[in-house]
Amino acid sequence: MRKLLILFSLFFLTKAWTQPAKDTLRSKFVLVIHGGAGTILKSQMTPEKEKAYNEALNTALNIGYAILKKGGTALDAVEACVRSMEDNPLFNAGKGAVFTNEGKNELDAAIMNGRTLAAGSVAGVTTIKNPVSAARAVMEKSPHVMMVGPGAEKFAGQQGLEIVDPFYFFTESRWNGLQRARKEDSLKAEMDHSDTAKRTWLKQKENKDFKYGTVGAVALDRHGNLAAATSTGGMTNKKFGRVGDAPIIGAGTYANNKTAAISGTGWGEYFIRLVMAKSISDMMEFGKIKLRAAADEMIMKRLPALGGDGGLIAVDKDGNIAMPFCTEGMYRGYIRENGKAVINIYKQ
C-alpha cells in the first residue's frame, strides 16, 4: 500500500514538473494603433473625412480588443488590426497604397513576436492583398525573415493568401497624389532661383499629406506578451524598388518582451538610418531609460536633427504607451481592458 502511494505521488509530481504552468490570464492588456503621421491639419480636414478616419481607427481598435479580451495573442491582434486598415482605402497600406514614380503600388509590411523575437517581412510586393499576413507567413512558415518582390508573392500564394490583380490597389486620390508629386519634382528640376511663385508652391507642398499614411499596431496581451506590425505603400513617387523602414526589423518595426513593441511611420530613410525602433528598445534595455523618454528622444530630437520627420506608437511590457510625432499630426488610438477607445489625430 505504501509503495503504491509513493508511486502515485511520484507520478503526480513528475506530471507537475513536466507540464508547463498554466498560463493565468492577466487582467491588463493594451492595443495601440496608428494610421500614419504627416501634415494632417484640422484646417485641411472636412468633418466627413475626419469622421471616416475616426470610424476606421475605431473599427481596427475594436477588432484587436475583441481578440485580446478573450485571451488571444498580441500577434493575432496586431495582424487583425493592420489587415482591417489595409482593406480601408483611407490608409496608405494595402488598398489605398501610394504610387511609385512608375505608377505602381509596391507594398512593404512586417510583424514581430516580442516573446520569441521571431519576425517576418515582405517588401516590394504588388499582388498580395494583405501584406501583413504574408509577413506573418514568412515568420511562421519559412526559415527566413524577409522576402521581396515576385518571390514573396509566389510564397504568399503557396500559403493560400489572397492574391489580387495589381489594379486592386488603384485609388483615384493616391493617383492624384502621384501627379502632384511629379509636378513638384519637375518644378524642382526646372526651378529658377528668382521664381518665387514656384518656390512658395513647393514650400507648401513639400512632404505634405500625400506622402504619408502607413498603418501599424502594437499590443500587450493578457499572457504578458508583446507584438508589433506595420504595413505601408511607402512614399508617393518613390523610385522603383525603394524599400522603406516598415519591413526592416529594428527600423520601423520591433518587439521584445524585455522592453517594448514599436511601429513607426514617417520618412523611412531616416528611420532606417537611426535604426529607430531597436534604438528605443536598446535605450530601455541597456540604458534603463523609460519608454516615453526613449521614444521622445528619438522622435522629437534625433529624427528632426537628422532632417527627417514622423512618429511612432509603442507599448512596453508593463502596458505603458507612447505615441510621439514631430509632424503636424498622426492618426492614432489606443484601447485598454476597459474597452474605451481613445482616438486622436492632431497635436493635443
Annotated active-site positions, please? Answer: 214
Give the strand pairing for 253-255 and 260-266: antiparallel
Interface with ligand ASP, residue 263, by CB under 6 A: no
50 class by beta-carbon count within 10 Å (0-12 exposed, 13-18 middle, 19+ buried): middle
Interface with ligand ASP, residue 250, by CB under 6 A: no
CA–CA dist 147, 139 (Å, integer): 10
User: How many CA atoms, within 13 angstroms, populate the side-chain half-sphere of residue 245?
Assistant: 31
Quick one: which of 53, 65, 210, 212 contacts ligand ASP (CB under 6 A)?
Answer: 212
Amino acid making up residue 321: I
To ligand ASP, the closest distance from the beta carbon of 172 in angstroms equals 19
Interface with ligand ASP, residue 234, by CB under 6 A: yes
* Residue among 165, 145, 168, 170 nearest 155 (CA): 145
Residues 150-179 that bind ligand ASP (CB under 6 A): none
Contact 219, 314 (CB under 8 A): no
Give the strand pairing for 215-220 and 253-255: unpaired
Q: For ligand ASP, how many residues bind (rule: CB under 6 A)?
A: 15
CA angle 259, 91, 198 (to 5 degrees): 110
List the x/- string, 86-125, binding to ligand ASP by CB under 6 A.
------x---------------------------------
Quick one: which of 245, 309, 316, 328 contacts ligand ASP (CB under 6 A)?
Answer: 245
Interface with ligand ASP, residue 232, by CB under 6 A: yes
To ligand ASP, the closest distance from the beta carbon of 307 in angstroms equals 14
Quick one: which of 113, 126, 214, 225 contacts ligand ASP (CB under 6 A)?
Answer: 214
**Residue ranges that bind ligand ASP, judged by CB under 6 A:** 36, 92, 212-214, 232, 234-235, 244-246, 252, 265-266, 268
